[in-house]
Structures are given as structure tokens and as C-alpha cells.
Amino acid sequence: MVIIDFPLPGLTEIQELIRTTVPPERLKIQGLGQEQLIRACQGLTRQRIQRILARALAQKNQVTEKDIDLVLEEKKQYIRQTEILEFYPASATLSSVGGLENLKEWVRQRRNSFGEQAAKYGLPTPKGVLLVGIQGTGKSLSAKAIAQEWRMPLLRLDAGRLFGGIVGESEGRTRQMIQIAEAMAPCVLWLDEIDKAFGGVGGEYSGDSGTSKRVFGGLITWMQEKTKPVFIVATANNVQVLPAELLRKGRFDEIFFLNLPTEPERREIWRVHLERVRPSRIRDFQLDEL
Ligand SMILES: Nc1ncnc2c1ncn2[C@@H]1O[C@H](COP(=O)(O)OP(=O)(O)OP(=O)(O)O)[C@@H](O)[C@H]1O
Ligand SMILES: [Mg+2]
């Protein structure tokens, strides 16, 4: 028997699909815009892409730049329907994170390491980072800022949703999650609070016949072997309960510890937040006192 996989359409296939679905004189989008449209379609099935294009054609008889948002909206819907991943709109930028200079520097340096040029030059594609630390020190904020800095879509995995009630369902959902993430590559996959999801994996008795162990095993194998540019940002509060195999080099490029902010960092955080809510009156505040 030959087993044939039908992956979601890739970039060239999507281009072809757009070309065959939309008559050339109605395609009012060129160059960079077209590239963005193709990227936006990544992660959707052929049928869905065709349907969106058909809808755009029916509404205004042409496909324009505005339809990129339509595609993104549809994608958000689709990803939400799978109930495993969540599509996060771009929000925070690196400049809205105060302090954390090491992390910010690390992220800035790798800004260009995902393109074709970087691959030709021989730069390894960044795999991921683990952010551990005290609650409320900006781990979730940094995850969002990384995606925004690199201009990549941000997918958030709710690890609790990976687990289904039927035997084998959890493993299946893990595979589905990986498939969606890879189809959207390059993207940032945000595993929030992994210590809560996989904290018990190291122990003898997990109480679920080993399901969480198998899900965890599948996940770390993929993290090691993945070839698609899916950058993982994992966050955790308690590093002690995390299994040792997750922490070794190779799974993550780097592990950052986010401590309570130092004095210059606290000043920086005040400034960031005051600038957001009282942009014109920032001089009235005595940052040092605060
Ligand atoms: N370095 C920072 N610069 C600016 N704002 C910050 C910083 N750290 C935290 N904040 C503010 O605190 C809020 C909470 O931070 P965040 O959600 O990132 O915490 P967390 O580390 O993910 O906490 P938890 O471990 O509880 O999930 C942010 O929304 C942000 O407004
Ligand atoms: Mg958080």
C-alpha cells in the first residue's frame, strides 16, 4: 500500500490557484500586495481559498488589496473552529516592553534569519525560546512582541485543549495542531504556561494512562526534528516541574529568566505605560520618584 499525504497548499500552489480562479483583468493587486495575499492564504484549504476569492468577485467583481483582510478574517475563523490554536492579531511591539534588554537584543539580531537570503548564507533558522520567570514580568507580552517584530502571524496553543476525551484523540489533535502550524510557517507558535500542561509528565503517576506523556513525546520530537520555520515561544512560571528533556539545548535556542525589574527597568516600564495613556503629559511625571 502506498500512503499519500495531502498537505495544505503551498505558496506556488496558492499562486496557481489564484491565477486559475480569478480572471487576470479582475485581479487588481500586484507585486508586494499579491505576495501578501498569497501569504495570507497559507494554512487554508483549496476549497476555502476558492470560496473567499469567489465571494470577493461576486461582491465587487474584482480582487483588491482589501481582500487580504477578508482572507485573514476567514483564517482566524478557521483556526478558531479547530479549537486548538488561536490566531492572535498583532498588538504589542518590542518598544512597548520596558527593560529585558538581553531578550530584546537577541530578538532584534535574528530579525532577518527567516528569509531565503539567510538560508543561502547558511544561518540556522531560530527554533524557539523558553521564557521562565515570576508572574507578571512580561512573558506573554514578549511573546506577542516577538511575533510583531518579525512580522509573523502569532498562533497561541491552549495546551489544555489538546486533550480530548476519546482514546487516541489527544494524539490526533497534536498532529492536527502541528499540521496547521507548519502550513502557516513562517509563524510564531506560542505555548503559554507549559508548566501547567506538562508539569506532571516527569512523575511516575500521571493518572491518564500515559496520554499526556504521549502528547508531550510527540511535541518534543517535532520540536527537535521540525524543518519548517515555526518559531516556538514557550512561557512557564515554575521551571522545576518541567521535564529535563524539554530544557536541554536543541529544543530551544535559549532560555531566558525574567526577574523582577531592576531600577532602570522600572523607570523604563513607567515611561512605556505613561506614554501610552498620557502621551502629552509625560514631562509632568517624576519618573525617578515613581
Ligand atoms: N517589561 C515590561 N514592560 C512593559 N510592561 C510590562 C512589562 N512586564 C509586564 N508588563 C505589564 O504587565 C502586564 C502583564 O504582563 P504579562 O501578561 O506579560 O505577564 P506574564 O509574565 O505573562 O505573567 P504570567 O506568568 O502570570 O502569565 C502586561 O500586559 C504589561 O502591561
Ligand atoms: Mg502570561
d(CA 45, CA 10): 10
Ligand 2 centroid, distance to 192 Cα (angstroms) = 7
| pTM for the predicted model, two decimal places | 0.81
- Ligand 1 atom having least distance to the Cα of 237: 25
Instruction: Give me the pLDDT at residue 13, please.
Output: 92
Instruction: Give me the pLDDT at residue 205, please.
Output: 57
Query: Ligand 1, atom 14: nearest CA belongs to which residue?
Result: 136
Beta carbons of 114 and 155 less than 8 angstroms apart: no
Which of 184, 180, 177, 91 lies closest to 142 in space, CA to CA?
91
Under-50 pLDDT residues of the chain = none
* All three cell numbers of 165: 476525551
Instruction: Give me the pLDDT at residue 207, please.
Output: 65
DSSP-derived secondary structure for 193-225: THHHHHTTTTSS--SSTTHHHHHHHHHHHHHHH
Query: Ligand 1, atom 23: nearest CA belongs to which residue?
Result: 136
Q: Which ligand is nearest to the CA of 131?
A: 1
Query: Ligand 1, atom 9: nearest CA belongs to which residue?
Result: 138
Beta carbons of 135 and 259 less than 8 angstroms apart: no
Query: Ligand 1, atom 18: nearest CA belongs to which residue?
Result: 138
Domain 88-259: assigned CATH number: 3.40.50.300
Cα distances from 146 to residues 101, 114, 225, in angstroms, run 13, 13, 22
- Antiparallel, parallel or unpaired: β 128-133 and 230-236: parallel
d(CA 136, CA 140): 8
**Residues having CB within 6 Å of any atom of ligand 1:** 97-100, 135-141, 235, 237, 269, 272
Q: What are the residue ranges spanned by the domains of the chain?
A: 11-82, 88-259
**99 — alpha (psi -120 to 50), left (phi > 0) or beta?**
left
Ligand 1 centroid, distance to 139 Cα (angstroms) = 6
Residue with cell 520618584: 289
Mutate to test the pocket of ligand 1, among 140, 262, 263 (most ligand atoms within 8 A of CB): 140
